[in-house]
Amino acid sequence: MTWHQLSTARSVTLLAALIALPLIACGGGDETVEINGTTGDCLNVDGTWTGDPIGGAPGSLERGFTQTCSDVQMSDERASGVLEALVDCELTQEGEATTGVCSGTVTISNDGGTWQGTVEGTTSWTTSEPVHVHALDSTFLGTGGYDGLRMVFHAAGYSTPWTLTGRIEPVD
């Protein structure tokens, strides 16, 4: 190899290392990143009720409840975007307390990709405290630019905006 070829090869190697360094420093998707944020305001559309939707008498069901949150703001931009959920709840009542056990599907989309997942949790209220308390857990798999990643978060609050805490991690 000539001096010129050797010098060019070293320059290319150095340039490749300089380009790769910021990708490694930013995680490049190979490490777990803690996230937090809020849902912003959400539009809720009631689904189909069977039983007593006000009191939540045993056996009351809500099917097809939809929620669209147009401004999810997270500490990691990959988790921010538009959230759309489709949820079913089964309500039970004990004394003045009503609890809904809920599950469904949820998607968060932004310019970088889409997170598709499931949601499970509870909503509860009492006749003396009619504000609904929500505690929901979601698990997502990334698509598009987020392929190979999983996002997990917990949503909690009374009414939106809800507080979100969780993580983005590589899929095993």
Position 133, amino acid: V
**DSSP per residue, 94-153:** ETTEEEEEEEEEEEEEETTEEEEEEEEEEEEEESSS-SPEEEEEEEEEEEETTTTEEEEE
User: What's domain 32-170's architecture?
Assistant: Beta Barrel (2.40)
Mean pLDDT of 62-87: 94
Instruction: Dig out the tokens for 81 from the structure.
Output: 């975007």
Each domain of the chain, given as residue ranges in start order, spans 1-29, 32-170
pLDDT in tens, 94-105: 888 888 999 999
**Cis peptide bond prior to 130, omega within 30° of 0:** no
Q: Could you give the CA distance from residue 151 to residue 107 in angstroms, rounded to a whole number?
A: 11
pTM above threshold 0.85: no
pLDDT band at 60 (very low <50, low <70, confident <90, very high): confident
Q: Could you give the CA distance from residue 152 to residue 52 in angstroms, rounded to a whole number?
A: 33
- Find the largest Cα–Cα distance for the chain: 88
Position 153, amino acid: F
pLDDT in tens, 124-171: 988 888 788 999 999 999 999 999 999 999 999 987 888 999 999 999
